[in-house]
Structure 1
Amino acid sequence: MLKQLPHRMKMNITLSIKKVFERYMATIGWDETKYDAATFMEQWRHYLYNEAAWFNELDDTMKANPHFHEQLAERINEIIDQLVNEPPTDDQIAEINRLVERLGIDDFPYGCRLEAKYHIERLQQELKKKKS
């Protein structure tokens, strides 16, 4: 069912998964020990019904089909797996090292590109506050 959707809709689904996962992980400060699948799925459902334009385009029969939701859950797991296994770029690593040095804080672990992005944004905000 999911594979039969138009390419544009499949891309929007992928982008939605990434967006919701990134948003959720930011709320827990990328602390994997705080990750709760049920809470993530609550945020996913909220996003589907309140923000995802592509979901509104689906017909009610597909929305009600358990097979569709099983495939969507599989896709969510695939995308999350890809995201957490995508290594940070060299530029991200260099930027984090630069920010850590400028802020005079200890280095900290980060494992993937999205987590590095989160920490760069967080550290840049800290640096702005420190300059103020």
Structure 2
Amino acid sequence: MFKKLSPNIKSSITRSISQSFEDYMSDIGWAEDKYNIEQFYANWREYITTKALWYEKIPDEIKANPKFHEDLAKRVEEVLVRVLNDPPAEEQIAQIEILQEKLGTHYEYGCKAEALYVQNLLEAKAEQQKK
């Protein structure tokens, strides 16, 4: 069922999964012990039904089909694996290391999205120290 959707809708679905996952992980501070797949799905479900333009473009008969939901669950898993396996950029690593040395911190990060979270956190801390 998922394969029958237009490339634009499939791309929008993928982006919404990635964005929702990164937002959810940021909300919990990328703390693995706080991760709850049901909560992530609840957040994503709310996002797609209230903010995602692609959701309205999918016919109700497709949305009601269990095969569509099975395909969608597989897509969510693929996207999450891809996000978690996307390594941080060398520029990110360098910037984080500079900030950590300056601030005397030691945050760990395993993927590009988590590195972005850490970088933003450290930049905010550095900005607060300037005040």
Alignment of 1:1-132 (within 5 A): 1-105=1-105, 107-132=106-131
Render the CA deviation track for 1:108-131: whole Å, top value 9, x for unaligned.
221000000111011111111111
What's the TM-score once normalised by structure 2's chain length?
0.97
SS at match of 1:38: helix
Q: Give the C-alpha shift of residue 76 in structure 1.
A: 0.2
Q: Hey, what's the Cα distance between the residues in 1 that align with 2:4 and 2:95? A: 41
* Aligned residues between the structures: 131
Render the CA deviation track for 1:76-102: whole Å, top value 9, x for unaligned.
000000110111111111010011112
Cα RMSD for the two superposed structures: 0.8
Task: Give the unaligned 5+ runs of structure 1.
Answer: none
Q: Give the C-alpha shift of residue 70 in structure 1.
A: 0.8
- Specify the code of the residue in structure 2 equivalent to 1:118: Y
Q: Give the C-alpha shift of residue 9 in structure 1.
A: 0.8
Q: Hey, what's the Cα distance between the residues in 1 that align with 2:3 and 2:121? A: 37
Task: Give the unaligned 5+ runs of structure 2.
Answer: none
Q: Give the C-alpha shift of residue 44 in structure 1.
A: 1.0
Structure 1 residue ranges, 4+ long, deviating more than 6 angstroms after superposition: none
Q: Hey, what's the Cα distance between the residues in 2 that align with 1:11 and 1:17? A: 10
Q: Hey, what's the Cα distance between the residues in 1 that align with 2:48 and 2:114? A: 23
